[in-house]
Amino acid sequence: MKINPYQNIQNNPYRKQVEKQAAQHEVQSKKDQIQISKAALELQQSTKIDAARQEKVNQLKEQVQSGNYKVDAQAVASKVYDYWMKQ
């Protein structure tokens, strides 16, 4: 390589490579962020209703596992009929 004292130093052939690597590093360092509204945070908090519902679900699970759970066919049919007649 010939060294010319009159050559412009700003014409660095490696500058583009360095800039490209810096740009890639900058892209890789970006991370996803999420923001949750106050209303959504309130919905995520457990309430008294959730505790009562969880207790009922646990009771039903125990009944199903022990084999004591009985389905009232008349009540199911009545609810289905009421649902479809409302619409």
Per-residue pLDDT tens for 24-53? 766 566 677 888 888 888 877 766 677 888
pLDDT attached to residue 65: 95
The answer to whether residues 25 and 34 touch, using CB atoms and an 8 Å cutoff, is no
In 1-87, beta strands by DSSP E:
none
How far is the first Cα of the chain from the last one, in angstroms, to the nearest whole number? 86
Global pTM value: 0.38
Cα separation, 19 vs 11, whole angstroms = 14
The predicted pLDDT at position 20 comes to: 80
Distance, CA of 6 to CA of 41 (rounded, Å): 66
Q: How confident is the model at residue 86 (pLDDT cuts 50, 70, 90)?
A: confident
